[in-house]
């Protein structure tokens, strides 16, 4: 084996070593990139799940508020019906008639007293 062949063999071994090192580095970097991508995806999924839970909580809260409003509306409707049934709007007219009757009665008493005095 001559000097040229030995140099060619050494260069080939160095090239092979560099190739293997490059391949190992590439695989390591690729694995690290996949881990980073997986970590980012896990963070996004966790964030999305948190947002979904918060959204569900808000929807449940809105349903509770809606149910309470509906219950209040039912109560208000019942009160309005009770007021309509009790004919509260006729009370002032009835009071006016009662006052007129009282005045008329009082006038009659006064007329009776005057006639008794005579």
Q: Which uninterrupted H or E stretch holds 8?
A: helix 3-86
Q: Give residue 78's pLDDT band: very low, low, confident or very high (50, 70, 90).
A: very high
pLDDT digits (tens, 9 = 90+) for 82-101: 887 787 778 888 898 999 89
What span, in angstroms and rounded, lies between the C-alpha atoms of 78 and 67? Answer: 17
Query: CA-to-CA distance for 90 and 68, rounded, in angstroms?
Result: 33
Q: Is it the case that residue 1 has pLDDT exceeding 80? A: no
Token reading at 12: 């080939």
Alpha-carbon 36 to chain mean position: 34
């Amino acid at each position: 084996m001559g000097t040229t062949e030995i140099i060619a063999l050494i260069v080939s071994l160095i090239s092979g070593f560099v190739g293997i090192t490059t391949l190992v580095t590439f695989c390591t970097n690729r694995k690290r990139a996949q881990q980073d991508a997986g970590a980012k995806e896990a963070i996004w999924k966790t964030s999305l799940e948190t947002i979904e839970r918060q959204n569900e909580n808000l929807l449940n809260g809105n349903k509770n508020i809606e149910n309470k409003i509906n219950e209040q509306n039912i109560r208000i409707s019942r009160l309005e019906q009770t007021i309509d049934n009790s004919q509260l709007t006729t009370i002032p007219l009835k009071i006016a008639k009662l006052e007129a009757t009282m005045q008329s009665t009082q006038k009659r008493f006064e007329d009776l007293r005057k006639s008794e005095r005579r």
